[in-house]
Amino acid sequence: MLRKSAAFSAGLALLFNFGCGFAGAQSLPEDIVNALNKVSGVHPGFRANHAKGIVGQGTFKASPQAATLSKAAIFTGDAIPVTIRFSDSGGVPTVPDGSRLAMPHGLAIKFHLKDGSETDIVINSLKFFPVATGEDFRDLLLAVAASPPGAPKPTKLDLFFKTHPRAPLALGDQQQPDSFADEQYNGVDAFVFVDKSGKKQAFRYIAAPEKLVLISKEEAAKKSPNYLFDEIATRVAKAPVTFHLEAQLAAPGDVTKDPTIPWPANRKVVDLGVLTIDKIDADSLAEQKKLLFLPGALTSGIEESDDPLIDVRDGAYAVSYGRRSQ
């Protein structure tokens, strides 16, 4: 299993940006980043998606159960330093936090391991993903870009939703929180734990808040444009924010390759440990430029499943990183 480091990612970014074999050839990740730019515009120096973000620091301390599922070094029970980034969705770095366009929100976690290596978790507030493949994600974005307010009916987006009925369900089932700290983030993509004996178990991550506080559309619209960012900085300055990192375990027969299908709610959920965020970086804007979180940056004991989105995401994040770093 290929494990991706930051150096690998930078290489991937270069490859996707400059390494196309012949003139005019474009990779799917490039097409996706171009489609994201069509929806949100190009904002130099910012991510093509989840452009508005805030960086913080903290620790992760695993529960004893975590080590029974996976031999990963993040599950030793030692306090592992982490860098986190909360974000609004979309490629517009000034999106108002209460806007519909700011959802889903993101939580990215980078674990700094004792041996100097890093491993990432990149999750968001969707309960399930609107589409199952990178091609469909590109086409969804192109349909959104081709369906501005006032576009003749049926719009391209109406037609896309007709052939992809999970998409409007995924995007419709969202509610704003009163804080980045009071929201649940879901892995959506499936990964696989490997324990010390080599036994494998498919799972999806959940980051569960201490309490879930959701507000109405009307309340969210009245909030200040940076309410989530201002609130999290003030809150963490007073006291650490904690989440329980959990794993929903797949039962035999549960499909791992389709992130549009949540597993039944009665599947076992294991507490993997506590994520504590005790600092928001004062120079968050500069810090986030240097950071690259990749869903496929894994450490031994955690592997990719057959979900095709994971590799597509790695490619698109690397393309976006390559462009925003120029």
Residues that bind ligand HEM (CB under 6 A): 32-33, 36, 47-50, 53, 85, 87, 106, 108, 122-124, 129, 134, 137, 187-189, 292-293, 309, 312-313, 316-317, 320-321, 324
Residue nearest to ligand HEM (CB): 106
Three-class DSSP category at 302: strand
In whole angstroms, what is the distance from residue 77 CA to residue 88 CA? 31
Shortest distance, CB of residue 218 to ligand HEM, whole angstroms?
26
User: Hey, CA dihedral for 75, 249, 108, 7, is it positive or negative?
Assistant: positive
Alpha-carbon span 245 to 271, nearest angstrom: 6
Q: Toward ligand HEM, which CB reaches closer, 186 or 299?
A: 186
The smaller minimum CB distance to ligand HEM, of residues 71 and 313, is found at: 313
Q: Smaller CB distance to ligand HEM: residue 53 or 296?
A: 53
Cα separation, 147 vs 155, whole angstroms: 6
**Residue type at position 198:** G
- Tell me how far, at minimum, the Cβ of 198 lies from ligand HEM, in Å: 27
When the beta carbons of 36 and 228 are compared against ligand HEM, the nearer one is 36
Give the nearer residue to ligand HEM in terms of CB position, either 117 or 284: 284
* Nearer Cβ to ligand HEM (95/312): 312
Closest approach of Cβ 108 to ligand HEM, in Å?
4
The least distance separating ligand HEM from the CB of residue 141, rounded to whole angstroms, comes to 8
- Report the Cα 206 to chain-centroid distance in Å: 11
Told to judge if 50 belongs to the known catalytic residues of this protein, a careful annotator would answer: yes
Contact indicator for 267, 248 with CB cutoff of 8 Å: yes
| Least CB distance to ligand HEM at residue 324 (A) | 6
How far apart are alpha carbons 32 and 199 in whole angstroms?
35
Catalytic residue among 43, 50, 105, 164: 50
The CA distance from 180 to 231, in Å, is: 8
CA–CA separation, 178 and 56 (whole Å)? 19
Phi, psi of 13 (to 5 degrees): -60, -45
Locate all alpha helices (DSSP H) within the chain, ordered by sequence.
6-18, 28-40, 64-69, 134-145, 156-163, 166-172, 217-222, 227-238, 284-290, 309-324
Least distance CB 128 / ligand HEM (angstroms) = 9
Question: In the beta sheet, which residues pair with residue 238?
Answer: none
Do residues 297 and 317 make contact, with C-beta atoms less than 8 angstroms apart? no
**DSSP annotation string for 45-69:** TS-SSS-SEEEEEEEEEE-HHHHHH
Q: CB of residue 169 vs ligand HEM: minimum separation in angstroms?
A: 15
Beta bridge partners of 276: 59, 242
Nearer to ligand HEM among residue 67 and residue 322 (C-beta): 322
Catalytic positions: 50
